[in-house]
Amino acid sequence: MSRMFNRINFTRVVGLLLVAIAAVSVSCSGVKMGNGAGNSAAGSAIRLQGSGASFPKPIYEKWVSEFGKIHPNISIDYQATGSGAGQKALVAKTADFGASDDPMSDDDMKAGGGGILHIPTVLGAVVLTYNLDGVKEPLKLSGETIADIYLGNIKKWNDERLKKDNPGVTLPDADILPVYRADSSGTSAVFTDFLSKTVPAWKEKVGMNKQPSWVTGVGVGAKGNDGVMGQVKQTPNSIGYVELTFAKANNLPAAQIKNKAGGFVDASLESVSAAAAATVASMPDDLRIQITDADGNGAYPIASYTYILVYKEQSDAVKGKALADFLWWAVHDGEKFAKDLHYGPLPADVVTKVEGKINSMTNGGKPLRQ
């Protein structure tokens, strides 16, 4: 009796398995057919693969789609894998271009065999967002007070130093909960770069890093901009740092930050551009620069460029030409999409410098554009 039952069960299981296998193979072949048809229709399609920073993903996707309308034979795929992974993918040649929020280090450039160009594309900023009931006017923070909050030296919102910077604001007698990025991130790099420049104690204890060693017992970590935002939104009396584009898109409150000139400045496209303008003169030939704590009255102090990384010498003439054309289009026509997506467009002087870099791209020693 039980044997009979087992056999029926066994047959049924095998039958189900066969159905499942059939379903999977049908769906797989369907995908394959779709791809094949797409390829043949596009003719001599050029495919470029990019990977790297997640911060510029929205504008890179916009560029890819707009550029694709003008050049239907060029398709570009951008994977937001993170700045570190972008640098790695470029050096490993698994991507035609990499993208990174912070410039590559000298060591990494050397390890990459040299000849890597840094093309700044747009400007971004990091804002401090907070959850304070009843506080309507934007909070005013300086490098010192931010550092002390994240070092655990300022524990309460009604701390004397916070009150001094925010006259007229009723700050609650509540514990501050700092929220930081638990994953490695260009946002953390820019944030800690600013604090390292302005606060010696920070430089000594934590320093500038994509994944700094946060002081144990102070605050909580969250994954990604959305993780930090979720935590801050849900936890009263918390503070966290996120990218400007992200804060704007989600209407988060953002603190005014004290800049080098001593004024408290809102994070905006204007103040970020002011920070870039103030540093154009000191931009090195390879265009690798940190623009935190910039001079100038209107400059927002936690700003940064984001870069596309390419090899100067391109091994494939057709792909190299397409890549150079894309970059040229991006820093000229592409910049007009920046503002709507809350990125700062490049200053004109920087565009001129970038033109020189793009024109220096070669294949077999021959310039790709011209």
Partner 1 sequence: MAQTGAIGDKIFRSVVLIAAASILVIVAAIFYMMAQNSIPTIERFGIGFLIGREWRPAQEQFGALPFIYGTVVSSLIALFLSVPISLGIAIFLVEQAPKRVARPIAFMVELLAAIPSVVYGLWGIFVLAPFIRNYLGPFLQDYLGWLPLFQGRLTGIGMLTGGIILALMVTPIVTAVVRDVLEAVPTTQREAALALGATKWETTRIVLGNAASGIAGAVVLGLGRAIGETMAVTMVIGNSPQISASLFEPANTIASLLAANFAEATDKIYLSALIEIGLVLFLVTFVVNALAKLLIMSVAGSANSAKHV
Query: Locate tokens 């017992």: which residue?
Result: 217
Say whether residue 131 binds partner 1 (CB under 8 A).
Answer: no
DSSP state of 158: T
Q: DSSP string of 236-296?
A: TTEEEEEEHHHHHHTT----EEE-TTS-EE---HHHHHHHHHHHGGG--TT-----TT--S
Say whether residue 209 binds partner 1 (CB under 8 A).
Answer: yes
Say whether residue 357 binds partner 1 (CB under 8 A).
Answer: no
Say whether residue 99 binds partner 1 (CB under 8 A).
Answer: no
Nearer to partner 1, 204 or 285 (CB): 204
Smallest gap from Cβ 223 to partner 1, in A, equals 5
Residues in the interface with partner 1 (CB under 8 A) total 33
Tell me if 232 sits within 8 A of 132, measured CB to CB.
no
Nearest CA to 250 out of 265, 233, 236 is that of 233
Q: Please identify which residue in 214, 241, 307, 343 interacts with partner 1, judged by CB under 8 A.
A: 214
Alpha helices in 166-223 (DSSP H): 186-198, 200-205
Q: Round to whole Å and give the CA distance between 100 and 86.
A: 6
Say whether residue 84 binds partner 1 (CB under 8 A).
Answer: yes
Smallest gap from Cβ 341 to partner 1, in A, equals 24
DSSP state of 122: E
Q: Please identify which residue in 50, 56, 82, 320 interacts with partner 1, judged by CB under 8 A.
A: 82
Say whether residue 207 binds partner 1 (CB under 8 A).
Answer: yes
Angle at 100 between CA 189 and CA 289, to 5 degrees: 65
Smallest gap from Cβ 35 to partner 1, in A, equals 26
Tell me if 104 sits within 8 A of 112, measured CB to CB.
yes
Distance, CA of 312 to chain centre: 23
- Segment lying near partner 1 (by CB under 8 A), choices 34-42, 194-202, 204-212, 292-300: 204-212
Smallest gap from Cβ 12 to partner 1, in A, equals 14
Q: Please identify which residue in 64, 132, 196, 210 interacts with partner 1, judged by CB under 8 A.
A: 210
Say whether residue 231 binds partner 1 (CB under 8 A).
Answer: yes
Q: Please identify which residue in 60, 88, 202, 274 interacts with partner 1, judged by CB under 8 A.
A: 88
Nearer to partner 1, 75 or 209 (CB): 209
Q: Round to whole Å and give the CA distance between 84 and 81.
A: 8
- Segment lying near partner 1 (by CB under 8 A), choices 117-125, 206-214, 282-290, 332-340: 206-214
Burial environment of residue 147 by CB neighbours within 10 A (0 to 12, 13 to 18, 19 or more)? buried
Smallest gap from Cβ 13 to partner 1, in A, equals 13
Which residues would be at the binding site for partner 1 (CB under 8 A)? 81-85, 87-88, 175, 177, 182-185, 207, 209-214, 216-217, 219-223, 227, 230-231, 234-235, 238
